[in-house]
Amino acid sequence: MTALTKPLIHLAGITRLYQVGDSEVRALDGVDLTICAGEFVAIIGPSGSGKSTLMYILGCLDQPTSGSYVLEGREIARATDIELSRVRNRSIGYVFQSYNLLPTLTVTDNIALGLVYAGVAAAERHATARDFAGRFGLGQRLDHRPQELSGGQMQRVAIARGLACRPHLVLADEPTGNLDTKTGAEILTTLKTLHAEGHTIVLVTHDPTVAAQAQRVIRIVDGRIVSDDLNAGFSAGHGEAASVGAEQTPPATSRTEPADGMRFADLLRMAWHEGLAAHALRTLLTMLGIVFGIAAVIAMTAITEGGKEEQLKQIRQIGRNNIQVRSLDLEGTRLARVRRLNPDGVSADDLARIREVFAQEQGIVAATGWKGIKAELKLGTQAIDFANVLGVFGDFEQVTDFHVGQGRFLAPDDEAQRRRVVVLGSAIAEALKLGDQPLGQVVIVGDEPFEVIGVMAAKAFSKGGVADITVIDRNQDVYLPHASLRAYFRKAERESPFDALSLRLASEERLLGASELIRRMVAELHHGADDFVVSVPLEAMRQAQRTKEVFNVIIVVIAGISLVVGGIGIMNIMLASVTERTREIGIRRAIGASRSDILRQFLTEAVLIATAGGILGLVLGVGSGLLIQGLFAFPVAFNGWIMLIATVSSMAIGIGFGLYPAWKAARMDPVEALRT
């Protein structure tokens, strides 16, 4: 035993058993050991003697099967993972034979890695890393990666990393094993200097020459300590290291206690930079399933929503609570056959009968009918041939919700007296260049003169139709009294007096029942002639929307399958990543990462893959929708809630499919991981 009296480490009856097949291996067998603060101890023994197992237990990477381990006055043998991780991070500095540096990190980030898990702010830990790098002659290598360093430089980085959290205890596992003689001697001198500064050094080696440099030499054979001797010729070695500058590391007792836990910003940075960006192509390919699934949902629902909005605009143009009785456009023998049953076609008698029946129920608030012809309009030298010339009857403005903007609309007297008056749509008035005073001017409709008594207000127009209802641009309409149109323009043989009758009901709740009643009434009036159709534009729109909703469900299901496939891809890649990075996991655990830290890191990587895929899918979906709108003039409408739900779903996929790989990484035995 040494003359030092303050115990740092106390082992009592430590055993460590391993089950290998049917056999039990006793790696440590009743080890009793006390190491005082400030000692430099070498543990030596042949291969398989148990020295590495003892080192792992001292370093809180492994736990004994039985016995007591007290470190700095705290019982360690039965500590929780969080407690063990804190001890490894704050009280122990590990130096490995194979350096165990992370290849994707610079010298600065490797040195500062333990400080990340201690929760130290980025600026402070980088300043600390630079100080330690300068101390060990690495000041010009701060931005270099391990593959750009010599073996001695990598070992100095490992020593600096072990000291960055200012531990009491430095554990060096064969620190000179991979170095040439000269570099190995420099590393040993560095360890002696650290000891002289107040650190407790425990060195594991199989080389008696290296062990002879220590203050105390403990020999272990077959899991038992067989000797424990002081080295009478030990020299403390103050300032002996050629690689060590004048600036000294403050004694361990003066260190500042870091904050608790890894910061969230560091968690995100580590997951992205050290996990995903390091394998950028693989990450991109992994997220494609998420990208396409989200893009499909966004684009297809935008198209569907755009169609719904377009149909609502069209319904407003037709009239929301309307029922239409439209004459079928028949020719030849079929027209002759139906006219034998019903010579009149769709007529004023139909409208009168419908009004009579519904007047008793007070269901119809307005009714109208119209007949259209093709006719050229002229005013002076201006002539147009695209106007929709309609002879209208009844409450046209109320039914169509289309009102005059200047002058007046057609009145019942105009109909009764067959007046030559006309109301123009705004587009027609503009095309004829009527100017600011259109009223009273005479336009030629076909070959007949008509006086302008009104101009309709401009009305928004959406092209298309709802089911079997055609939507026309009312701004290009020209309105005459129905009687005037029938009196002054040529009529085709056997044609219906009206192209359509349109009825506006007080409530949309009665539309379907009323439409069925009207269909039966008109069929009876027409003596069974199949020369008309009754349609409900609002119901037609609803049916179209229900069809689109079914289509939406199919798209969502397909997109969901794509998301699940993407999630399986994430799980597969993350499992492969865990396997590839097993040693990295062991390194992180050795310098203070808890199981929770490892789980959060790998789970964050999975969530970032899925979230980035969701965002890319969102961008692709919006871009695809806008492209379709631009190329095909198809309306699209993006729903913010759907976009939010799609993005949140991608994050949920990342959590759901990343949880198992993250759990597997967190449950890895740190000793086994380091041996990989």
Beta strands 421-424; 448-456: pairing state: parallel
Residue of 432, 450, 452 lying closest to 440 (CA atoms): 452
Q: Report the alpha-carbon distance of residue 498 to residue 487 in Å, rounded.
A: 14
Which pLDDT band, with edges at 50, 70 and 90, does 123 fall under? very high
Give the mean pLDDT of 151-175.
92
Residue 316 above 70 pLDDT?
no
pLDDT in tens, 509-559: 677 778 888 889 999 999 889 999 888 776 655 666 566 667 767 777 877
Residue ranges of domains in the chain, CATH in brackets: 38-60+80-260 (3.40.50.300), 278-310+543-675 (no CATH), 329-530 (no CATH)
| Tens digits of residue pLDDT in 480-507 | 999 999 999 988 888 899 999 988 887 7
pLDDT (average), residues 293-309: 80
- pLDDT tens track for 601-610: 999 999 999 9
Instruction: Name the nearest CA neighbour of 289 among 555, 568, 556.
Output: 568
Residues in the chain: 676
Strands 169-173 and 92-95: parallel
Report the pLDDT value the prediction gives residue 308, as an integer from 0 to 100.
67
CB-CB contact of 653 with 290 (8 Å): yes
Burial of 650: CB neighbours in 10 Å, binned 0-12, 13-18, 19+:
buried
Query: At how many degrees (to 10) do helices 537-580 and 595-632 cross?
Result: 140
What single-letter amino acid sits at 466? V
Q: What is the DSSP letter of 274?
A: I
How crowded is residue 473: how many other Cβ atoms within 10 Å of its Cβ?
Answer: 15
The pLDDT tens digits for 212-232 are 989 999 999 999 999 999 987
Q: Each residue of 58-73: pLDDT tens digit?
A: 999 999 999 999 999 8
Residue 305: is its pLDDT beyond 80? no
Res 470: pLDDT: 53
Rounded Cα–Cα distance for residues 13 and 469 (Å): 92
**Whether the Cβ atoms of residue 476 and residue 343 lie closer than 8 Å to each other:** no
Residues 564-573 have a mean pLDDT of 88
Residue 490 CB-density burial (10 A; 0-12 exposed, 13-18 middle, 19+ buried): exposed
- What confidence score (pLDDT) does residue 2 get? 45
**pLDDT of 242:** 34
Q: What is the mean pLDDT of residues 108-134?
A: 94
Question: Is 60 exceeded by the pLDDT of residue 3?
Answer: no
pLDDT band at 309 (very low <50, low <70, confident <90, very high): low
Q: Where are the alpha helices (DSSP H) in 136-180?
A: 151-163
560 is written with which tokens?
């969901």
pLDDT score, position 259: 53
Tens digit of each residue's pLDDT (9 = 90 or more) over 89-111:
999 999 988 899 999 999 999 99
Q: What is the pLDDT of residues 257-286, one digit of tens each?
A: 445 678 999 999 988 888 888 888 888 888
DSSP H/E element including 482: helix 482-488
Per-residue pLDDT band for 426 (boundaries 50, 70, 90) equals very high
The answer to whether residues 442 and 452 touch, using CB atoms and an 8 Å cutoff, is yes
- φ, ψ of residue 366 to 5 degrees: the values are -160, 150
Which of 132-136, 192-196, 254-258 has the lowest average pLDDT? 254-258
Lowest-confidence region among 6-10, 315-319, 584-588: 315-319
Quick: pLDDT tens for 342-386.
888 999 999 888 888 776 555 778 889 999 999 999 998 899 999
> Between residues 344 and 318, which one has the greater pLDDT?
344
Cα dihedral sign, 208-214-217-218: negative
Any idea what the Cα angle at residue 414 is, between residues 409 and 418, rounded to 5°? Answer: 135
Give the three-class secondary structure for 625: helix
Do 497 and 345 touch, CB atoms closer than 8 A?
yes
Residue 467 has pLDDT above 50, yes or no: no
* pLDDT score of 260: 62
Mean pLDDT, range 653-675, rounded to an integer: 92
Q: Round the average pLDDT of the chain to a whole number and report it.
A: 86
Residue 417 has pLDDT above 60, yes or no: yes
User: What three-state secondary structure class fits 564?
Assistant: helix
Q: Tell me the Cα Rg of the chain.
A: 44
- Span 422-446, mean pLDDT? 93
Asked if residue 590 lies in contact with residue 94, where contact means CB atoms within 8 angstroms, the answer is yes
Name residues whose C-beta falls within 8 Å of residue 266's C-beta, 6 or more positions apart in sequence: 116, 122
Q: What is the pLDDT of residue 256?
A: 45
User: Residue 510 corresponds to which tokens in the numbers above?
Assistant: 């009665």
What is the band of 322 on the pLDDT scale with cuts at 50, 70, 90?
Answer: confident
Q: Is 244 a residue whose pLDDT tops 50?
A: no
Question: Token digits for 558?
Answer: 């397909």
How many whole angstroms separate alpha carbon 672 and alpha carbon 658? Answer: 23
pTM summary value: 0.69
Report percent pLDDT > 90 for the chain. 49
Using CA atoms, how far residue 421 sits from 288, 329, 453, in Å, is 66, 28, 6
